[in-house]
Amino acid sequence: MGVKRIPIEELDWDDLRIFLAVIRSGNLTQAAKTVHVDHSTISRRISRLELCLGGALFERRKDGLQKTLLAEQILPQVEAMEGGAVALRESLSGCGGREPAGIVRVAMMEGIGSLYIARRLVGLSSAYPLLRIELVTSPQLVNVNRREADIFLSFFKPEGRGMESENIGLFALSLYGSEEYFAAHGKPKSLEELVNHKFLSYIDDLIQVDTVRWLDEVLPNPNIIFSSNSMLAQMAAASSGLGLVLLPRFAVANEPKLLPILTNQICVTRQLWLSVHADLRYSTRINAVFNYLKDRISAEQVFLSRNN
């Protein structure tokens, strides 16, 4: 006797919510942590949803779960339902069109997050005291489609279905060194002299975002003597006199030991993009944070784009 189908009229939103959690995490264990239930509950809910929809949603592989064609087909509609649920929840809680409230997770690279954005959140907190900001800094790509973050600030335009991205400005980078380094190795007066100097940069095989390969635009084969996946570590090493480092101006604003060099000969810039999933773009809380970051960066373009 075959397995009994569940009528489509009995489709349960909680099952769809768990479906989204599995899609975004890629495995049942992480999905269980996300929605705060146990592994067996996740499996049972997915099985029930499959009986209701009449087909498998995932294929098990060594590297995790793979979406089936059926899962791909229903995903846009389920995400739209989620967006509607978010808007309804905000409206019923008194937030719709009024005071933004709740958690907003913002993701970005470590350097701009720790050295720039984190220093500029006081105004946001003052304007919207009911908001709680979660700042995720990572050297890796953050998947907004999987809801690893609500808003993503990046040095490139992310690709992905259902994403809305806006170019909100740019920043400039300069080559920096310390007096200790200059005393030991001399201060380069031209680009040609850079071949005789020592450099600090990112670990090449750990780079996941090509836009941080900015040193390549200054010198084809720099003599790199220290590498780190952390901008903060590179900056600290350069401050001690270890070598020269290419950094955004915002990174060294509070580091007096680092001095810019060759500012008239080096011009490296990067665009800044704010991205959000389309289903969340007009959520009151998301919109408040999105617009605050956009306006703040726009207002500081003179500071960000100068390279000295």
Q: What is the largest CA-CA distance in the chain?
A: 85
Distance in angstroms (rounded) separating the CA atoms of residues 71 and 53? 10
Q: At 267, list the tokens.
A: 């011009």
Cβ atoms within 10 A of the Cβ of 243, count?
22
One digit per residue, the tens of pLDDT, for the chain of length 308 reads: 456 788 888 888 888 888 888 887 778 888 888 788 888 888 888 898 888 888 888 888 877 788 899 988 888 888 778 777 766 666 665 555 568 888 899 999 989 999 999 999 999 999 999 999 999 987 555 554 455 788 999 998 887 666 789 999 999 999 999 999 999 999 999 999 999 999 999 988 877 777 888 999 999 899 999 999 899 999 999 999 999 999 999 999 889 999 999 999 998 999 999 998 877 777 888 999 999 999 999 999 999 988 76
CA-to-CA distance for 21 and 13, rounded, in angstroms?
12
The CA distance from 197 to 224, in Å, is: 9
